[in-house]
Structure 1
Amino acid sequence: MKVTALYIYPVKGLCGIRLDTTEVGGQGLQYDRTFMVCRLGADGELIKVQMSKHAECALFQQDIVNRNIRVRYVRPKEPVTGYHELQNTVLEFPAEPETDGLERADMNLHQSRVLAYRMGQAYDDWFTACFGFKTTLLYIGQERRPILGTFSPRNPPTEEPAPQKGWLSSLSGYVAGRQEEEEEEKEDPDWLTFTDCAPLLIATEASLRSVRARVASGEVDMVKFRPNIVVDGEAEWDEDFWAALSINGAPALLLTKLCNRCTSLNVDYAKGRYGAPGEEQGTILKVLMRDRRVDAGSPYAPAFGRYGFLDDGVERLRVAVGDDVAVTRRTEERPRWDWPMKPKKDDPGRYYRYA
């Protein structure tokens, strides 16, 4: 097999950037999902902005020039929000900004919490003008989100938390736990930036062909599935049973869970809207529902693609379109989803615990 495409999404939820080559580290492809836009709730709550809830994310184009991220808003023929002059400007900021002096913000992303950084009012104003509601731009910097469930191939399963009164109690426990463990000689557990549940998402062209065969036009773009690494694949859906991959003959990736899909598949990227009933753009999730609800841990969502991590002992690697990829280990059964996406009573989420 061959690598056929590489994608990064510096600002989570917006359109991706296609690359020819890049470095991959423990947290995924360089510059991937280190920023995210949040909606500001009435009480100051930070609410993630992603295509599953905000189809207009498809109207934001990203690029990286000289280690700066540039974001451009593409106003559609049928506007999805009122006009503002900032929509005609390009927002630019460093891919790795200085964090000294930035306001901190507690972000709960899928029950995996982090104290991130607010980039500042100018950035908030730009996204607010384009989305049409109050927003803030967050940067994760050197902070870390914990991996929950058994998604990491190395971390022990996350323990059930003791009942807490709120996130301040949880943060206090996190600090105390870190102090208790400071003297123990352990490696830090795997961790995340603003990627959902794993550093990498791998997809195959073979399975995309199966999706295309299910719609009348035969036109479904891989960008809808928002992968990081695309390979041509062999048989359709064979990746469900992959456990390890090599790249150019060397150990490279461990694959753990399936990626279960949501309404973001139904976004019409040209309009920044969800496909209307009867429109082909609005049927992609439904056609996958027929036979791709194959994850016993998430029985109502169809699967496409695999979550992945660097292999044991691999700290960093270079990957490029055209690289050779081989399956070096397989599983007999599909993995089972066990990330606790919905909070239980008195569970404010978890922070990363350093070894």
Structure 2
Amino acid sequence: MQISQLWVYPIKSLRGCVVPQAMLTKEGFYHDRRFVLLQQDEANPGKWKHMAVSRISQMVLFHTSISGDILTITYRPPGSTADPETLEIPLEPENLPELKRVDVNMHFSPTTGFDMGEKYSKWFSDRFGFKVILAYWGNNPRLVLGNLPNKPTTQGPKPKNVITNVLSSLPVIGPMLEGDDGVIAFNDCAPYLVVTEPSLADVSKRLPEGVEADVTKFRANILLKTSDSAWAEDFWGELAFGDEGAKILLTGNCGRCKSLNVDYNTGESGTGKDGELLKLLQKDRRVDPGVKYSPIFGRYGFASKGSEGMVLRVGDEVALSKRNEERTRFYWPGIST
């Protein structure tokens, strides 16, 4: 196998950046999901919730690019002939101690972010039409509550008592208690997501002739070219990259949501078959009883301990170093079935 594309997503749910190389860290590729956009939670005044394409489809109209230590956001509304609007954001804020802290609770795994300030919040708020906060991760880890390396089956993590649950939610104490358990930034359920070209091609077969599935909708970190058949990755347990010995341990399946139906050109629901992609996949890709209503495309994974700091490059050779006898079952309390 071979790496054909690498992606990082500096701000969760905005468009990603295709990159020639990316460095592995415990929490994901360097710069991946280090920022998140928050909106006010109408059900809980004073609280903020993370924004996602499945709820706010116009997020796909914001493009990202990285140059040096600057992240540039580019926005142009559909049909506009004016020059695109841009915003520059430092990838590593220098005034972090001065920034206001904000609680972020994604998929029942809480952490603390840093409010980047009015300049950035106003830029996004003006374009979305409601109050938005841009929050920076700041190395405050979120605990992985689901499938972990060496625990990728039906049971998930061992239950904790009430006191441990509370302590684990604290950014500093949590990792000390968790030991080898995984942590993430503003990723959904794991640091990495791997998909393959044959499976992407199989998705395209469900669409009208001449229409290809848009790989960007699937928000993968790694796209692999392989001679395997479509969906062979359902059974993959571990991948080895290049000559340095970098490994990604694949622990769970990625269940897909209605964000697949969004037209990335308009920021609205797609029309025709392209707007029914989720339904088309549900016909035969509901293969994980852990998310029995969601079609599966892609595998979640974690970098092995010895792989942190290693760099993956487009064109690197990839070997399947472990294959599971049966599919893993997705587990995440509050999400899995």
Residues 226-237 of structure 1 mapped to structure 2, 5 A cutoff: 226-233=219-226, 234-237=228-231
Q: Which amino acid aligns with 2:247?
A: A
Q: 1:161 to 1:57 in 2, by over 3 A?
A: farther
- Matched-pair contact (CA < 8 Å) for 2:99–2:116: yes
- Alignment partner, residue 268 of structure 2: 273
Closer, same or farther: CA 56–327 of 1 in aligned 2, 3 Å: same
Counterpart mapping for 1:13-92 below 5 A? 13-42=13-42, 43-77=45-79, 89-92=85-88
Aligned to 1:259: 254
CA distance in 1, matches of 2:60, 2:144: 27
Partners of 1:177 and 1:236 lie apart in 2 by: 42
Aligned to 2:146, the other structure's residue is in SS state: coil
Contact 1:201–1:307 under 8 Å retained in 2: yes
Aligned partner of 2:239 among 238, 245, 268 = 245
Q: Does the residue aligned with 2:200 lie in a helix, a strand or coil?
A: helix
1:325 and 2:318 matched? yes
Equivalent residues in 2 for 1:130-149 (5 A)?
130-149=127-146
Task: Summarize deviations over 1:30-64 as a string: whole Å, max 9, x none.
Answer: 10000011112341221221111111011001011
Distance 1:7 1:223 in 2: 9
> Is 1:109 aligned with 2:79?
no
Given the alignment of the two structures, is residue 203 of structure 1 paired with residue 229 of structure 2, yes or no?
no
- Contact 1:61/1:74, CA 8 A, preserved across alignment: no
Aligned residues: CA RMSD: 2.7
Aligned pair in 2 of structure 1 residues 303, 106: CA closer, same or farther (>3 Å)? Answer: same
Contact 2:113 2:137 in 1 (8 A): yes
Does the alignment pair 1:307 with 2:300? yes
Paired letter, 1:108: N
Q: Aligned to 1:223, which of 197, 200, 216?
A: 216
Task: Describe the shift of the 1:2–1:173 C-alpha distance in structure 2 as closer, same or farther (beyond 3 A).
Answer: closer
Is contact 1:22–1:319 with CA below 8 Å preserved after alignment?
yes
Partner of residue 186 from structure 2, selected from 191, 194, 198: 194
Q: Give the length in aligned residue pairs.
A: 327
- Alignment check: 8 A CA contact 1:2 1:324 kept: yes
Kindly state the Cα deviation for residue 149 of structure 1 after the two structures are TM-superposed.
Answer: 2.5
What residue number does 2:285 align with?
Answer: 292
Unpaired segments ≥5 residues, structure 2:
none
1:171, 1:44 → 2: CA distance? Answer: 21
Could you say what secondary structure the match of 2:289 adopts?
A: coil
| TM-score, scaled relative to structure 1 | 0.85
Offset of residue 170 of structure 1:
6.9
For the Cα contact (< 8 Å) 1:14–1:62, is it kept in 2?
yes
Q: Deviations over 1:305-345 (max 9, x none)?
A: 000111243222111111001101100111111101359xx
Identify if the C-alpha distance between structure 1 residues 329 and 116 changes in structure 2 by more than 3 Å, giving closer, same or farther: same
TM-score of the pair, normalised by structure 2: 0.90
Q: 1:336 — aligned with what?
A: 329
Give the residue type in structure 2 aligned to 1:226.
R
Per the alignment, in what secondary structure is the counterpart of residue 327 of structure 1?
strand
**Cα gap change, 1:174 to 1:209, in 2 (>3 Å):** closer
Cα displacement (A) at 1:178: 3.3
Q: Quick one: distance in 2 between partners of 1:173 and 1:235? A: 41
Secondary structure of residue in 2 paired with 1:322: coil
Separation in 1, partners of 2:290, 2:50: 24
Shift of 1:270: 0.7
Seen in structure 2, the aligned counterparts of structure 1 residues 336 and 78 have a Cα distance that, compared at 3 Å, is farther
Q: Structure 1: 5+ residue runs without aligned partners?
A: 80-84, 344-355
* Partner secondary structure for residue 12 of structure 1: coil
Deviations 1:136-180 (A, max 9, x none): 011111110000023344798152553x9xxxx97567569939x
Residue aligned with 1:297, SS: helix
Partner Cα distance (1:71, 1:259) in 2: 27
- The one-character-per-residue Cα deviations of 1:258-279 (angstroms, maximum 9, x if unpaired) are 0000011111011000114xx1
- Aligned counterparts of 1:176 and 1:270: Cα–Cα separation in 2: 38
- In 2, the alpha carbon distance for the partners of 1:176 and 1:34 equals 15
CA distance in structure 2 between the aligned counterparts of 1:24 and 1:284, rounded to whole angstroms: 31
Distance 1:305 1:264 in 2: 15
